[in-house]
């Protein structure tokens, strides 16, 4: 028994240390680790300049399809810490670290030993790479997770108190305004409180409704209706992949956490206590949230984060209920060992090629490939120097914060163009005019490296495809130079490849 706990602690410590190593090497990287990081910084930059982030689409700026809390936090911190990659990633790292602390405390309060609580908290850390290498990015997900974990924990711990449901409602509202995926958790927490203590449920629901409705009304009125368009309407206009949501996502989560799911099923079959039932309800909600995110067009592996986190919490509580059995800590230790993707890799070897490709996830045992090198910094500095030296305005659609680093005005992000076109909305007219008038002295275009195992047949070359996505660029600009720009390490593999300059007037 003691040996299994020692093994669990060693594996958990190794997972946490592995993530800390990668995070320490990534946090101060002065360029995009993921291609939309710069776009998120541009949201905060708008607020710093006193401009709205929900407004009519223009060449200058189009909002991403998220609620506004994360860029608002960056704006609030900017007078002290400035606005850039390091302070923004620090917010994400702190929020994710807090989420792990909440998972640890939740298991401990349910009676778990330090070893079991540490193992449960280490599971999401071990799954860093399979969930997209996302926790430390300038993206909304970690702040959302930290607030959401706090809300569901506080709501459960303080359900018999007078102020606890108010705090849980405020935290849940904050989580929603970090990312819309909080909504199903808000409903589940309300239903759990309704079953366990009706007065707490009423106070919680009143807090969420009044605070949430007031903020929604204010954002809608202040933006002239554009907040609703970006935060909700865009999602409804994009296709939804049912197979990715209903089949692939549960299969991926099952492979990542398989030994722990056996542990959870074992505990649930033994007349479980209310804490395990609540944690299991959160786990199911996490899987549903992950499936909804993964089914959305252009989703990435970060959609798995709520599923991994809340299933891990439930596994920790299950191990607590079975802690007297020698197999329990061993199964939890095995889950920590498989969370970086070992069973996914095994499935890829034994399944037919098509099924294996659909389940593919990045492996996370060796995180060195996710860490920028000195050469990456050199390539980034060289690109920013080219932008600085270019006369007039520049356009870097795949890395929209880079012009700011060069002391120039920023423009919308390439993801904005994809969002607008995918939703049947028009490309901003002023962007079309700026391209037609050859307003930019330099345009930097990225190529997207194909995913491993993808079939490139029938597709144009990556450079031609990238240039063709920008309206009118191929007509008014020509390829002047091919470059090897700074790579990204999370999300889609976009690499600056082409410098375009205006064509001579006809």
pLDDT digits (tens, 9 = 90+) for 450-476: 654 444 444 456 677 778 778 899 999
Q: What is the pLDDT of residue 47?
A: 98
Can you tell me which residue has the tokens 């002295």?
441
* Alpha carbons 495 and 149: distance in angstroms, whole number: 35
Q: Which one-letter DSSP state was computed for residue 248?
A: I
Residue 271 CB contacts under 8 Å (≥ 6 apart), including other chains? none
Residue 315: which of 110, 128, 154 has the closest Cα?
Answer: 110
Is 289 a residue whose pLDDT tops 60? yes
**pLDDT band with cut points at 50, 70 and 90 for residue 152:** very high
Q: Mean per-residue pLDDT for 412-419? A: 93
Is 140 a residue whose pLDDT tops 90? yes
Residue 198 CB contacts under 8 Å (≥ 6 apart), including other chains? none
Q: Contact 463/438 with Cβ under 8 angstroms?
A: no
Residue 454 CB contacts under 8 Å (≥ 6 apart), including other chains? none
Q: What is the pLDDT of residue 351?
A: 87
Is 170 a residue whose pLDDT tops 90? yes
Q: Mean per-residue pLDDT for 404-432? A: 93
Q: Which residues pair with 65 in a beta bridge?
A: none
**In Å, what is the CA distance from 504 to each residue of 273, 445, 477, 478?**
75, 20, 9, 9
Would you list the domain boundaries of the chain? 2-30+65-359, 373-502
* Alpha carbons 404 and 40: distance in angstroms, whole number: 13
Q: Which pTM value belongs to this model?
A: 0.95
Q: Mean per-residue pLDDT for 484-493? A: 94
Q: Could you tell me what percent of the chain has a pLDDT over 90?
A: 86
Is 332 a residue whose pLDDT tops 80? yes
Q: What is the pLDDT of residue 356?
A: 84
DSSP string, 270-283: S---HHHHHHHHHH
Q: What is the pLDDT of residue 10?
A: 98
Is 385 a residue whose pLDDT tops 60? yes
**Going by DSSP bridges, is the β-strand pair 477-482/440-448 parallel, antiparallel, or unpaired?**
unpaired
Residue 448: which of 459, 458, 462 has the closest Cα?
Answer: 462
* Alpha carbons 315 and 342: distance in angstroms, whole number: 18
Q: What is the pLDDT of residue 457?
A: 45
Give the rounded distance of the alpha carbon of 488 from its chain centre.
Answer: 15
Q: Which one-letter DSSP state was computed for residue 241?
A: -
Q: What is the pLDDT of residue 462?
A: 64
Q: What is the pLDDT of residue 463?
A: 75
Paired tokens of 493: 């593999």
Count CB neighbours of 478 within 10 A.
13
**pLDDT band with cut points at 50, 70 and 90 for residue 117:** very high
In this predicted model, which residue has the larger pLDDT, 355 or 299?
299
pLDDT digits (tens, 9 = 90+) for 36-87: 999 999 999 999 999 999 999 999 999 999 999 999 999 999 999 999 999 9
Cα dihedral 74, 77, 83, 86 sign: negative
* Alpha carbons 364 and 249: distance in angstroms, whole number: 18
Q: Contact 29/138 with Cβ under 8 angstroms?
A: no
Is 484 a residue whose pLDDT tops 90? yes
Can you tell me which residue has the tokens 């930097």?
444
Q: Mean per-residue pLDDT for 175-183? A: 97
3-class secondary structure for 404-429?
A: HHCCCCCCCCHHHHHHHHHCCCCCCH
Can you tell me which residue has the tokens 């926790």?
135
**pLDDT band with cut points at 50, 70 and 90 for residue 357:** confident
Is 290 a residue whose pLDDT tops 80? yes
Average pLDDT value over all residues in the chain: 94
Paired tokens of 267: 């505990």
């Amino acid at each position: 028994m003691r040996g299994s706990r020692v093994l669990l602690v060693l594996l958990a410590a190794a997972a946490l240390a592995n993530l800390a190593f990668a995070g320490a090497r990534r946090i101060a990287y002065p360029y995009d680790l993921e291609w939309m990081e710069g776009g998120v910084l541009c949201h905060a930059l708008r607020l710093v300049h006193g401009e709205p982030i929900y407004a009519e689409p223009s060449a200058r700026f189009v909002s991403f399809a998220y609620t506004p809390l994360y860029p608002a936090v960056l704006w609030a911190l900017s007078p002290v810490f400035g606005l850039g990659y390091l302070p923004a990633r620090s917010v994400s790292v702190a929020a994710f670290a807090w989420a792990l602390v909440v998972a640890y405390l939740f298991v401990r309060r349910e009676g778990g030993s330090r070893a079991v609580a540490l193992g449960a908290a280490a599971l999401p850390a071990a799954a860093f790479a399979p969930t997209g290498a996302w926790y430390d990015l300038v993206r909304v997900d970690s702040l959302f997770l930290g607030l959401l974990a706090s809300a569901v924990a506080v709501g459960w711990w303080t359900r018999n108190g007078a102020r606890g449901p108010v705090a849980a409602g405020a935290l849940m509202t904050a989580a929603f305004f970090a990312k819309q995926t909080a909504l199903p958790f808000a409903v589940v927490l309300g239903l759990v409180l309704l079953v366990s203590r009706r007065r707490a449920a009423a106070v919680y629901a009143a807090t969420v409704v009044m605070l949430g409705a007031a903020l929604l009304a204010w954002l809608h009125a202040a933006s002239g209706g554009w907040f609703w368009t970006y935060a909700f309407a865009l999602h409804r206009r994009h296709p939804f992949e049912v197979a990715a949501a209903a089949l692939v996502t549960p299969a991926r989560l099952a492979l990542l956490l398989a030994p722990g799911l056996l542990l959870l099923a074992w505990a649930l079959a033994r007349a479980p206590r209310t804490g395990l039932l609540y944690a299991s309800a959160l786990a199911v909600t996490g899987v549903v949230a992950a499936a909804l995110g993964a089914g959305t067009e252009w989703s990435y592996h970060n959609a798995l984060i709520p599923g991994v986190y809340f299933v891990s919490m439930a596994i920790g509580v299950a191990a607590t209920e079975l802690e007297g059995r020698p197999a329990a800590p061993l199964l939890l230790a095995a889950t920590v060992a498989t969370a970086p993707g070992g069973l996914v890799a095994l499935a890829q070897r034994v399944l037919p090629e098509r099924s294996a490709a659909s389940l593919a996830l990045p492996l996370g045992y060796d995180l060195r490939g996710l860490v920028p090198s000195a050469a990456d910094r050199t390539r980034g500095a060289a690109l920013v120097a080219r932008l600085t030296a270019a006369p007039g305005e520049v356009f870097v659609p795949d890395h929209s914060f880079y012009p700011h680093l060069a002391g120039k005005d920023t423009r919308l992000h390439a993801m904005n163009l994809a969002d607008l076109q995918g939703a049947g909305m028009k490309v901003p007219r002023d962007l079309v005019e700026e391209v037609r008038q050859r307003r930019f002295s330099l345009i930097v275009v990225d190529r997207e490296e194909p995913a491993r195992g993808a079939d490139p047949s029938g597709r144009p070359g990556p450079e031609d495809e990238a240039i063709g996505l920008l309206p009118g660029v191929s007509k008014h600009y020509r390829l002047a130079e091919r470059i090897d720009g700074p790579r990204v390490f999370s999300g889609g593999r976009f690499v600056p490849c082409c410098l375009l300059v205006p064509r001579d007037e006809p």
